[in-house]
Amino acid sequence: MQGIGTRILIGVILLAAGIAAHAEVNSPEGKVALVGTWRLVSATYGDPGGKEGRDWIRYVPEGVVHLKHVTPTHFTVVTYDVSSRKVSIVGGGRYLSQDGVYKESVEYAVGGTLPELLGKEQTFALKIEGDRWTHSGTLTNGQRISEVWERIK
């Protein structure tokens, strides 16, 4: 009986350690919890050789919806036309978030510029303010981006 009690105690200790580690990852002081569904509300895309302001394209989605679904380990993006309900872009893969840095590795993609990013890690500065997520950086294809996502409740 003592062997079973010891095993149960060890199991409880390991479970508590796992819960504590998960809480630390998602705490405001630690890594940011991104799990949920997000909708793109605005973006800025730029030419890597261009000057700030003049060579940046500001984009606010009209007639299309861009969604990002985030689990604890993976993300999926989907873009579809509101009127036709046809999907034009889909992609996803693994991500990491730590200390104000967000990294994505695109593992599958169709449409848009996502196929150019397959198998390449993208690194962004990450900022969360309430239900707004902004990430910005330069993609491996050279395009500068800054995207603002809003959490869907």
Are 75 and 125 within one domain? yes
Please state, in angstroms and as integers, the Cα–Cα distance from residue 100 to each residue in 103, 136, 146, following that order: 10, 11, 14
CATH (domain of 67) = 2.40.128.280
Do 38 and 16 fall into the same domain? no
* Tens of pLDDT, residues 80-138: 999 999 999 999 999 999 889 999 999 999 999 899 999 999 999 999 999 999 999 99
**pTM listed for this prediction:** 0.74
Tell me: do 26 and 37 sit in the same domain.
Answer: no
Structure tokens at 28: 């405001």
Give the rounded distance of the alpha carbon of 114 from its chain centre.
14
| Residue numbers of the domain that contains 112 | 32-151
4 with 77, same domain: the answer is no
